[in-house]
């Protein structure tokens, strides 16, 4: 159904596509994280379009203390209505994962090439495509000349691909943005209302090195680690039976992602180490899962007194599960906008991933994940792409959402 804002989006279609191409053509791979060019581009373009823009430089001391060598920049751009009211904002990140070997791409990864109705390139979906849709939805409201109350902001942050501490984390924890509702990067075919908690552990077994020809003089740390891995495998089987009530979240997962040990084939290894990632459903807590790991290891020690194990929590990316209630007015707002544009509603799910939504939710701002693209768009892989029709239609949904949320005829006193 066409209205003022959806017509404005349709009129902006060529601009939407070219803006995404321009963003893709500015490499911002992380690591290492170079943000000067992309933040300058956003600042200049958004100022040109009539936004109030603030570029936030993370203090150099905090950057260096995080072990980083390049400046961290976040961009907040806002348009304001004709009087006070609600504040809705949209968050997507400016960094991408590395492109990898360009010879594996059908089109150069920073070309923004258009083929078969798609825009190709690193970040085409994750998350420059989402950022494009958010900006253009706000611009459509501005171009439609509809009067509204309150304000609408774009929060473009750095470092999401490496945890977001100096990106959305810095913005949210320092109260640099304060809104009634946030939409964070997500997919166009579902509304994500819940994200898993993350617990990561380093587990080390200690042995005694010796010559392989005199193995009985040593203690093989890798063989002891094999027992730890078997214990974690058994724990995973138990957790598979403890399913989540939230659609899409399944159960708490245990993933042994790294294993190291030994120095030479003919030496009894003195140490072995694994790194384990747990994605934790809301029905569990991080401490509960951590204590179950410790209990598993204690049982192993009872069976084999020679096992010596150290367990260390990796706290840099540790986070609790985040959940927005399924009947939240926030979700209703998006469903209404979807129905207005497409005539259909979307499934409401949870995911075992994590996103920058957690930073805002933990600071008291209700949030969900929604945006253009799907998980079939080769995110983090070769030939990442954004479907142009999906990009434009999702921008229309977002524009209608904004109109419905801050429009002059809505009750702006009622907060979500």
pLDDT beyond 80 at 177: yes
- 85 and 214 both lie in a single domain: no
Question: Is residue 78 within 8 Å of 51, Cβ to Cβ?
Answer: yes
Q: Using the 3D structure, point to which of 313, 337, 365 is the last residue of a domain.
A: 313
The pLDDT assigned to 413 comes to: 45
Q: What is the mean pLDDT of residues 6-19?
A: 98
Same-domain check for residues 141 and 234: no
Q: Clarify whether residues 109 and 229 are in a common domain.
A: no
Give a yes or no: residue 52 inside a domain: yes
Is 68 among the domain residues?
Answer: yes
Max distance between CA atoms of the chain, in angstroms, equals 84
- Judge if 278 and 379 occupy the same domain: no
- Judge contact between 407 and 146, C-beta under 8 A: yes
Does position 412 have pLDDT exceeding 70, yes or no? no
DSSP 3-state of 29: strand
Residue-wise pLDDT tens digits, 369-392: 999 999 999 999 999 999 999 999
- Asked whether residue 230 falls in the same domain as residue 288, the answer is yes
How far does the chain reach from its first CA to its final CA, in angstroms?
26
Are 356 and 185 in contact by the 8 Å Cβ rule? The answer is yes
Does pLDDT of 415 surpass 80? Answer: no
Q: Are residues 112 and 164 in the same domain?
A: yes
By 3-state DSSP, what share of the chain in percent is helix, strand and coil, each rounded to 5? 35, 25, 40
| Domain annotation covers residue 413 | no
Query: Does residue 306 share a domain with residue 347?
Result: no
Residues 164 and 27 occupy one common structural domain = yes
**Whether residue 97 is found in the same domain as residue 26:** yes
β-strand partners of 191:
348
- Percent share of the chain, pLDDT over 70: 97
Predicted local confidence at residue 169, as pLDDT: 97
pLDDT digits (tens, 9 = 90+) for 286-331: 999 999 999 999 999 999 999 999 999 998 889 999 999 999 988 9
Above pLDDT 90, what percent of the chain? 95
DSSP 372: S
Spatial CB neighbours of 266, under 8 Å, sequence gap ≥ 6? 211, 212, 213
Which residues lie closer than 8 Å to 4 by C-beta, 6 or more apart? 144, 145, 146, 403
Give the pLDDT score at 387.
Answer: 98
Tell me if 159 is assigned to some domain.
Answer: yes
Structure tokens at 78: 């806002």
**One domain for residues 73 and 191:** yes
Last residue of one domain, picked from the residues 313, 330, 356: 313
> Are 280 and 368 in a shared domain?
no
∠ CA 388-393-395, nearest 5°, is 95
Residue 416 within any structural domain of the chain: no
Q: What is the DSSP string of 304-334?
A: -TT--EEEEE--TT-B--EE--TT-HHHHHH
Give the position of tokens 């609600």.
86
Whichever domain contains 308, its CATH number is: 3.30.70.360
Residue 7's pLDDT is what?
97
415 assigned to some structural domain: no
Provide the domain limits for residue 294.
197-313
DSSP three-state, residue 248: coil
CA 60 to each of CA 64, 155, 322: distance values in angstroms, whole numbers, following the listed order: 6, 21, 30
Whether residue 274 is found in the same domain as residue 298: yes
pLDDT for the residue 407: 85
Q: Per the structure, how many domains does the chain have?
A: 2
**Domain contains 412:** no
Q: What is the CATH number of the domain that holds 328?
A: 3.40.630.10
Return the pLDDT at 107. Answer: 98
Mean pLDDT (the chain) is 96
Q: What is the pTM of this model?
A: 0.92
Whether 183 is in a domain gets the answer yes
Q: Give the model confidence (pLDDT) of 72-82 as tens digits.
A: 999 999 999 99
Which of 247, 278, 313 represents a domain boundary (last residue)?
313
Stretch 177-205: mean pLDDT = 97
Residues pairing with 153 in the sheet: 78, 89
Report whether 33 contacts 159 (CB < 8 A): yes
């Amino acid at each position: 159904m066409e209205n003022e804002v959806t017509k404005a989006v349709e009129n902006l279609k060529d601009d939407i596509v070219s803006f995404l191409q321009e963003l893709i053509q500015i490499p911002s791979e992380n690591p290492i994280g170079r943000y000067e060019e992309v933040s300058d581009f956003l600042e200049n373009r958004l100022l040109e379009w009539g936004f109030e823009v603030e570029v936030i430089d993370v203090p150099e001391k905090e950057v260096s203390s995080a072990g980083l060598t390049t400046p961290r920049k976040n961009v907040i751009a806002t348009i304001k209505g004709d009087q006070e009211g609600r504040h809705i904002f949209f968050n997507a990140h400016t960094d991408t994962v590395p492109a990898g070997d360009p010879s594996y791409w059908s089109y150069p990864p920073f070309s923004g090439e258009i083929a078969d109705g798609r825009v190709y390139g690193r970040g085409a979906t994750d998350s420059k495509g989402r950022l494009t849709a958010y900006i253009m939805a706000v611009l459509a409201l501005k171009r439609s000349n509809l009067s509204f109350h309150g304000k609408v902001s774009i929060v473009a942050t750095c470092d999401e691909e490496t945890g977001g501490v100096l990106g959305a984390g810095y913005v949210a924890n320092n109260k640099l943005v304060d809104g009634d509702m946030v939409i964070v990067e997500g997919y166009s075919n579902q509304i994500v209302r819940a994200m898993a908690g993350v617990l990561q552990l380093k587990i080390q077994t200690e042995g005694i090195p010796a010559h392989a020809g005199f193995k009985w003089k040593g203690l093989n740390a890798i063989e002891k680690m094999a027992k730890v891995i078997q214990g974690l495998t058994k724990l995973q089987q138990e957790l598979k039976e403890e399913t989540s009530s939230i659609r899409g979240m399944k159960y708490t997962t245990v993933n042994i992602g790294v294993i190291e040990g030994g120095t030479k084939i003919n030496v009894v290894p003195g140490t072995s180490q694994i790194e384990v990632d747990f994605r934790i459903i809301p029905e569990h807590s991080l401490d509960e899962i951590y204590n179950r790991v410790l209990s598993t290891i204690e049982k192993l020690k009872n069976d084999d007194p020679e096992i010596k194990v150290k367990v260390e929590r990796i706290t840099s990316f540790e986070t609790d599960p985040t959940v927005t209630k399924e009947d939240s007015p926030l979700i209703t707002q998006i469903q209404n906008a979807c129905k207005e544009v497409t005539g259909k509603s979307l499934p409401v799910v949870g995911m075992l991933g994590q996103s920058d939504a957690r930073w805002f939710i933990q600071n008291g701002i209700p949030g969900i994940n929604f945006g253009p693209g799907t998980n079939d768009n080769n995110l983090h892989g070769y030939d990442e792409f954004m479907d142009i029709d999906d990009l434009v239609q999702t921008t229309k949904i977002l524009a209608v959402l904004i109109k419905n949320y801050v429009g002059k005829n809505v009750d702006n006193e009622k907060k979500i």
